[in-house]
Amino acid sequence: MITLISPGIWNFKMMNGKTMETYTSKLIDDLLDSIDPIDQEKTDAKMLLAAKVADAMKAKKWKNKDLLKAVGKDNPSIITKWLSGTHNFTVDTLIELQHALSIKLLALAEKEDEVVTNYYVTVIQKVQSNPIMHCDDIFFGMEQQSQPSFSSRFSLTA
């Protein structure tokens, strides 16, 4: 695993977690600076998906063959490809992996909850039933969380 410690200083780690060496390189910094941000985001997403799959497999104590069986595939190399961090997953594959591993890989926009507010109006003063009404001191009782209430003077025209 390679970790950026500060500009130009990289920390290389072996798989067992021991630090192998610290390396400084202007060339690496220049190469990383030349990467298009969208391409970097794509690469980061692929690596993150692979890491999530690997973590879920580890949590289930699964080997590659267990995942292969769970998703109903025949070729063992596909699992290696998925775990490489370079595979461009299809939506179908991500959904299959989500179900097989009981994890969430896709965070598609959930349907936003619709907020509905009901107001109940109580008229305290009797008004005329003609098309033009002049109402004084009408009380509005609003049943909501804080249950505010207020009085108002206004005119309604039908």
Q: Which CATH number covers residue 66?
A: 1.10.260.40
pLDDT at 130 over 60: no
**Signed CA dihedral, 118, 124, 125, 128: sign only:** positive
Full residue range of the structural domain in which residue 42 is found = 37-108
Once rounded to an integer, what is the mean pLDDT over residues 44-73? 94
- Rg (C-alpha) for the chain, rounded Å, is 31
pLDDT at 148: 46
- Of 12-21, 57-66, 148-157, the poorest mean pLDDT is in 148-157
Where a domain ends, among 92, 108, 124?
108
Residues 27 and 46 in one domain: no
pLDDT, tens digit, 9 for 90 and up, residues 74-115: 999 999 999 999 999 999 999 999 999 999 999 876 666 666
Residue 131: CB partners within 8 Å, gap ≥ 6? 157, 158
Residues 12 and 1 in one domain: yes
Residues 18 and 70 in one domain: no
Banded pLDDT at 30 (limits 50, 70, 90): confident
Residues 27 and 53 in one domain: no
pLDDT at 9 over 60: no
Number of structural domains the chain divides into: 3
- CA distances to 109, 116, 119, 142, 150 from 113, in Å: 12, 9, 19, 22, 29
Once rounded to an integer, what is the mean pLDDT over residues 38-58? 92
Residues 104 and 45 in one domain: yes
- What average pLDDT does the structure give for the chain? 74
Residues 18 and 54 in one domain: no
pLDDT at 33: 83
Residues 69 and 102 in one domain: yes
pLDDT at 65: 96
Once rounded to an integer, what is the mean pLDDT over residues 135-145? 45
pLDDT at 154 over 70: no
Residues 41 and 104 in one domain: yes
Residues above pLDDT 70, as percent of the chain: 53
